[in-house]
Amino acid sequence: MKRPVVVFHVGMAKAGSSAIQHLLAANLDALTEIGVHIPHAETLEQSGRATGGNAEHLWEVITRCDSQSETADAIKKWLAESVAPEGKTLLSSEFLGALSEEQVAILAQVTDEFADARIVLVLRDIYDHAFSVWTHKSKEGWETESFNEFCNSNYIHPPAGRVGTPFEPLLKYSRHFDDVRVGHHSNEPGALATMFLELAGIEIPAGKIIDQDKVVNPSMSLEEIELVRVLNEVDPTGKAAQRLGDGFLRQSRSGSPIPDDPEALLALENELGESVREINERFFGGQSVLRFRSETLEGSAQSPSPVAMKAVEVLGEEIGLLWGYILGSLESRLSEWERSPARFAPEIPEEFDPIEYLRINPDVLLAGADPYRHFATSGRAKGRLWRVSDRKPF
């Protein structure tokens, strides 16, 4: 009897994962007709926005375990409930790439008890991928570095749990799974859908594929990114930057060109050149499929206009002056708060700064609340931030 097949799509951030998951959700009926099982399909589509995919819960189950035996039992139970007894079962999530080496090894061993496993990854040209990751992190309020600084630090050497190069997940899965298939991201209409379905071994009859040209995550322009970065400089919560970025992305657009940064490109080539050559040799038959710059985008970008950059400069100055005025006015109340009985409550951390707490939580500031009392009675229990140690200080 032919064994069933489990296809794990190990999604890479900013490499078409959302578009692929939208494709699966839109074509659920057609996939079911040809014997492809998509468990937890309701998780794949949320109004066209990015999701954790239908394997996010598998990642959650694995990461809650404390031992190898507990991990193996949890994976076995989850797969038993999710994998179809015949045909193909397709699981997709960017969280799969965040599993540790040990967890991937256990996943491979347990999956082999149920079915033949196939790993599918889609890689994007390195410079283009780095720029998209930087853009996304800027919009989410996590990045205040320039693109060149980001390439030389957090992209090549990402902190634990952060998005960086795709090489580690690829090599990690290659060491424990025999069938690993790698595709190259393309912006050509329909190319991503066609390539993914081919790698997964799925054949939807011609003319039946729905929304194969869907693009879920467009890009911001360079001017928009600079405006978002200015907000990141002065708003440590990142909330204002995220709202502004979401507003830009809701506009109708076909995508923005990626700017040229020769220094960033050189840094990526020097640090990652050997890895790119190894991947092309191993997964693309020695052809230079994976590149640093996409041929279709090279030389197409333009620098921000002087007017836009002046707007960035003025906005930064005005917001800075506003915060300076607000924080200055709070100094007069500092002595009052220092006498607050709540200052010595056990819930108050030793390094607690009342002004920083109000700056991070402007709703508390607007309410005129005592920051010590607010944090001790409700802020701590609700998980309110009280300091921002991983952001650039104002």
Is the per-residue pLDDT at 342 higher than 50? yes
Amino acid identity of residue 118, one-letter, is R
In which band, very low, low, confident or very high, does the pLDDT at 306 lie, cut at 50, 70 and 90?
A: low
**Residue range 269-296: average pLDDT?**
90
The average pLDDT across 315-329 equals 62
Tell me the pLDDT band of 269, cut-offs 50, 70 and 90: very high
Q: What is the model's pLDDT at position 216?
A: 47
Beta bridge partners of 10: 93
Mean pLDDT check: name the lowest of 1-10, 122-131, 158-167, 236-245: 236-245
The residue among 202 and 250 whose pLDDT is bigger is 202
| pLDDT 10s digits, 350-386 | 889 888 888 788 778 777 789 999 999 999 988 888 8
Instruction: Summarize pLDDT for 26-74 with one digit per residue, the tens.
Output: 889 899 999 999 999 888 765 445 568 999 999 999 999 999 999 999 9
Point out the least confidently predicted range of 106-120, 185-199, 203-217, 291-305: 291-305
Average pLDDT value for residue range 110-132: 93
pLDDT in tens, 207-264: 777 765 555 455 566 556 666 666 666 565 666 666 666 665 555 444 555 777 888 8
- Contact present, 374 and 368 (Cβ < 8 Å): no
- Contacts of range 344-351, beta carbons closer than 8 Å, 24 or more positions apart: 345/372, 345/376, 347/375, 347/376, 347/380, 348/372, 348/375, 348/376, 349/386, 351/387
DSSP, res 97? G
Helices 262-283 & 167-174 angle (0-180, nearest 10): 10
pLDDT at residue 392, as a whole number: 33
Identify any residues that bridge with 91 across adjacent strands, giving them in sequence order: 8
Distances from the Cα of 66 to the Cα of 76, 173, 182, 247, angstroms? 15, 21, 31, 41
**Mean pLDDT (whole number) for 277-288:** 94
Strand ranges for the chain from DSSP E: 5-10, 36-37, 88-93, 116-123, 180-184
Residue 92 has phi, psi (to 5 degrees) of -135, 130
Compute the radius of gyration of the chain from its Cα atoms: 24
> What confidence score (pLDDT) does residue 387 get?
80
Fold that domain 5-124+166-200 belongs to in CATH: Rossmann fold (3.40.50)
Locate 74 and state its tokens.
């949890």
Domain segments of the chain as ranges: 5-124+166-200, 306-379
Mean of pLDDT values over 156-177: 82
The mean-pLDDT minimum among 172-176, 185-189, 276-280 falls in 185-189
Residue 312 pLDDT grade (very low, low, confident, very high; cuts 50, 70, 90): low
pTM greater than the 0.75 cutoff: no
